[in-house]
Amino acid sequence: MKTKHHIPSEVLSAYSTGSLPEAFSIIVACHISLCDQCRAEVEAFDTIGGVLIDNEEMANIDLNSFEKTMKLIDKQDNSHLVPSLKSNDIYPTPLKNYFGGSVENIKWKSVGGGIKQAMLLNNKEASARLLSIPPGAQLPDHSHKGLEMTMVLQGSFSDEIDSFYRGDVELGDDHLTHTPKAGMDEHCICIAATEAPLVFNSWLPKLLQPFIRI
């Protein structure tokens, strides 16, 4: 099925420039491994960035700066942000690198109602997690304190906005209140990134929130 819900240009631009928090960059990398349209847009942003750099005035730098920079690059592992274009697995390569490449390494934990989550990343900027939702099950209705980005890896879910399938991305903010519900065909597996904890509207999820860290 062709991707219907894409990532906004401003988010793709931030990804291209490296200013997007890592949790959201994971989702962008996964999405562009499946979506030709957004991948082409990121490549265009990369090209523009390269032209701007080429047009910058020369600056006086230390003769050893290039060597020092290359050493710093060699020490960093950014492979988890490189999109895969060939994976037939439901988990794109940028995501698989966060759990050692094997689905057996995913540390699922129950959050109630048959729903499970696996934390991938949690820092002061944002958090990223996998969610597994049984067919027909729904998350409690909630709103957001900041940006939420959710991408479907398997199955589907629907809410007050639309229906979302593999590769589709939904963005939510403090203007969105919704109740996502998994499709009936199979488990819905998503990757979700959030800037802040969700704002639940019922008392039980609020009570459990400190323990399930959503």
Neighbours of 1 (CB within 10 A): 8
For the chain, residues with pLDDT lower than 50 are 66, 69-70, 72-73, 75-88, 203, 206, 209
Could you read off the pLDDT of 89-122 as tens digits, one per residue? 899 999 998 998 888 899 999 988 899 999 999 8
Question: Which domain, by its residues, includes 72?
Answer: 9-97
Q: Is residue 13 part of a domain?
A: yes
Q: Is residue 194 part of a domain?
A: yes
Q: Do residue 138 and residue 82 come from a single domain? A: no
Domain count within the chain: 2
- Which of 97, 131, 146 is at the close of a domain? 97
Could you read off the pLDDT of 159-187 as tens digits, one per residue? 988 999 999 999 988 777 888 999 999 99
Structure tokens at 140: 């409690």
Q: Is residue 163 part of a domain?
A: yes
| Spatial contact of 23 and 121, defined as CB atoms under 8 Å apart | yes
| Spatial contact of 212 and 198, defined as CB atoms under 8 Å apart | no
Q: Is the dihedral of CA 185, 186, 192, 196 positive or negative?
A: positive
Whole-number Å distance between alpha carbons of 82 and 173:
27
pLDDT for position 182: 95
Neighbours of 125 (CB within 10 A): 13
Q: Give the CATH number, domain containing residue 138.
A: 2.60.120.10
Q: HSE-up of 137 (CA within 13 Å, CB side)?
A: 17
SS3 124: coil
Q: Do residue 120 and residue 85 come from a single domain? A: no
Q: Render 147-160 in DSSP notation, one character per residue.
A: -EEEEEEESEEE-S
| Spatial contact of 123 and 157, defined as CB atoms under 8 Å apart | no
User: Which amino acid type is present at position 4?
Assistant: K
Q: Do residue 106 and residue 205 come from a single domain? A: yes
pLDDT for position 85: 38
pLDDT for position 102: 86
Q: Do residue 56 and residue 78 come from a single domain? A: yes
- Which of 97, 123, 154 is at the close of a domain? 97
Q: Do residue 131 and residue 73 come from a single domain? A: no
Q: Give the CATH number, domain containing residue 65.
A: 1.10.10.1320
Q: Do residue 77 and residue 117 come from a single domain? A: no
Q: Is residue 2 part of a domain?
A: no
List Cα–Cα distances, 71 to 67, 165, 171, 210, in angstroms.
Answer: 6, 42, 37, 41
Tokens 């005035």 sit on residue? 57
